[in-house]
Structure 1
């Protein structure tokens, strides 16, 4: 008989979990929650698996007065919400057919069979309500050894879902050490053509997770070594990314992505189907202007604050620092503090002021306001409303 693991005692609050177990006593915690309990990391999502079909799971929970959402019935998943906390509950299953992106699944009551379809051994463990750990593929030992391995045949796991090629490097960065698993790297390098079948959105989501993860420089090097990075990104430049990382800049996935592909930012945004907002940021960072200098006067900084967003300027300052130094620098930190501490300048005139001067809405009003704003900016964004009105009155 299995001994209790003591893992459940590490959960700060398991009242919701106990309530689910009273309804679904055969359910177990699975995946990332078990893995992170073992390594002592914070657990944010409590996902469960159960032998009962999803329709039965939903019916039992609803009969107990629990809100349930059928978030993925085709894959056996419902989400129960207790006291505002979601619990994803998935029926045990096996993959009957896969095409590298989607799987046809059938339900099973065999826990080992369900574990066998998972990606990595460290994600294939489960924990029952008696606090007993079930580990079919040596995931606990792999965690202790800081080793990330695919469950079973690595080549088959990649063929089932090519996104696992990227996930492997994300998990190795967080839970592994040293040289990545050879079988995994071989399987990935020999199946790079499968990446073309993935959606741009899935690739973008995974690469941005990698970019905010630990040991990023090593991870990028490992991905280049197997040929993966060149398949998913246009003309990556790990050297410039390394210079940005050397500055101890913000953990910003888009900024790091730009640094990695700064010479092909337009192509990058289109290939990964980034949002319009993100593509606008990439274009700003790639443009020749604005030019940032450490000795810029307060008037110049106020002009920058009017013409560009503060977030965009701060990001650009990190890129400038990466290009010029590639290392931490108190002067650049001081420049960013000056820039951020300035009150946001606001042009003091509006359409109401134009109407008060006898102008009607239309091109003439727009020209009047633009002339005033241009003069206001040229004077360091300092003139107040009366000064702007006096300037415009003198022009007419």
Structure 2
């Protein structure tokens, strides 16, 4: 099977300048991996990686001679970042593994494109494109790409032992690009060697899981991971597959469902302490942890209010939700509560509540402490107590009380 790509990114001045600088003195340059794969699949290309048989020192020298910036970001592994026309390209010299350690490898540089391809993970990632768009396929990636079949190059056990993160990449690539069942050989190897995941850093695991949970086939892939015994190793919990599956069924209603933090909150299927376990285990950022907990808090509040049984055309519940939690956490809370409710994606009450949470503006409490002191209330804790009382009455009124009425409530105490 042969292929050729003819995409605009191939003719970008920055990439052409990089080719011009490095491809000389008998050395070759080709685009490799995701840019080629995604172009052939009709998917967006976010970054462009380059492979070459030029040694790293020559890459640096030639780039700088051409007026390009060269940064030795991964020199020991043969990777030089070349900045051309404002775009950064990772340029990596062809490699052969000398020794593998389960998390990294000792490599030597080479000139053999076949051997470079054979050390990569999946056949669909070992596709190279010359500057004229001709695709080179040393390991049979094109048929797998056409079939949307994620398959390890060569022996799956060997590829995984080279880097145990490839277990998670196997499932993640299937969730993102796969069609049909998982590759049987890859699944068997991943199941057998899953214990190697324990030697990976939490940061590397977290990066893969963030991408996996928002992939198109995440729900069914996570079910496969759970059956294989992989999910508890990466989440420190078995995971709530039913709520997660329900959340992803709402993808067409709100973009929030495709945020990793909300997806992980649904997958945790537990209390706030379990959210902390997942966040710690994946080394999530403080912002991601806060979003998970805010979504959980809003969903619990909604559950207590029996949100699914509220009249769908009454906006008071949504207004109070927005007032208490804000837009992002409010919408997240609706989606999470809906996912945990057991009700389907066509439930009219939740649909109406979500539309209100997305479309209404959060009510703004019209009083401040200065209003009270100007009205004669002594400054101090009493101001806060009276403001809280007025706000409670305001919420109970469905936000109907105006500033004058609220000031009367606060002054009366």
Q: Same fold, TM exceeding 0.5?
A: yes
Contact 1:10 1:37 in 2 (8 A): no
- 1:196 is displaced (CA, Å) by 0.5
Q: Distance in 1 between matches of 2:242 and 2:230?
A: 17
Match of 2:13 among 8, 12, 15: 15
C-alpha distance after superposition, 1:309-332 (max 9, x if no partner): 222222222233332313323442
Q: Distance in 1 between matches of 2:376 and 2:138?
A: 82
Contact 1:305 1:344 in 2 (8 A): yes
After superposition, the Cα gap between the structure-2 partners of 1:63 and 1:373, relative to the gap in structure 1 and judged at 3 Å, is farther
Q: Distance in 1 between matches of 2:3 and 2:352?
A: 51
- 1:165 is displaced (CA, Å) by 0.5
Q: Distance in 2 between matches of 1:53 and 1:363?
A: 71
Residue in 2 aligned with 1:240?
243
Contact 1:201 1:273 in 2 (8 A): yes
- Structure 1 spans left out of the alignment, 5+ residues: none
Bigger CA drift: 147-156 or 160-169? 147-156
What pairs up with 1:207-222 in 2 under 5 angstroms?
Answer: 207-222=209-224
Q: Distance in 1 between matches of 2:344 and 2:125?
A: 37
- 1:89 is displaced (CA, Å) by 1.3
The answer as to 2:315 corresponding to 1:308 is no
- 1:29 is displaced (CA, Å) by 0.4
What pairs up with 1:111-260 in 2 under 5 angstroms?
Answer: 111-233=113-235, 234-248=237-251, 250-260=257-267
After superposition, the Cα gap between the structure-2 partners of 1:173 and 1:337, relative to the gap in structure 1 and judged at 3 Å, is closer
- 1:119 is displaced (CA, Å) by 0.6
Bigger CA drift: 55-64 or 45-54? 55-64
Q: Distance in 1 between matches of 2:133 and 2:210?
A: 35
- 1:384 is displaced (CA, Å) by 4.0
- 1:48 is displaced (CA, Å) by 0.3
After superposition, the Cα gap between the structure-2 partners of 1:203 and 1:4, relative to the gap in structure 1 and judged at 3 Å, is closer
- 1:162 is displaced (CA, Å) by 0.9
- 1:180 is displaced (CA, Å) by 1.9
- 1:53 is displaced (CA, Å) by 2.8
- Structure 2 spans left out of the alignment, 5+ residues: none
If the length of structure 2 is used for normalisation, what is the TM-score?
0.85
Q: Distance in 2 between matches of 1:35 and 1:183?
A: 22
| Partner secondary structure for residue 301 of structure 2 | coil
Residue in 2 aligned with 1:392?
410
Contact 2:149 2:174 in 1 (8 A): yes
- 1:244 is displaced (CA, Å) by 3.0
Contact 2:372 2:407 in 1 (8 A): no
Q: Distance in 2 between matches of 1:212 and 1:238?
A: 14
If the length of structure 1 is used for normalisation, what is the TM-score?
0.88
Residue in 1 aligned with 2:391?
373
Contact 2:102 2:163 in 1 (8 A): yes
What is the RMSD of the two structures over their aligned residues, measured on CA atoms? 2.8
The answer as to 2:297 corresponding to 1:289 is no
Q: Distance in 2 between matches of 1:231 and 1:50?
A: 37
| Partner secondary structure for residue 16 of structure 1 | helix
Q: Distance in 2 between matches of 1:84 and 1:351?
A: 51
Q: Distance in 2 between matches of 1:227 and 1:117?
A: 27
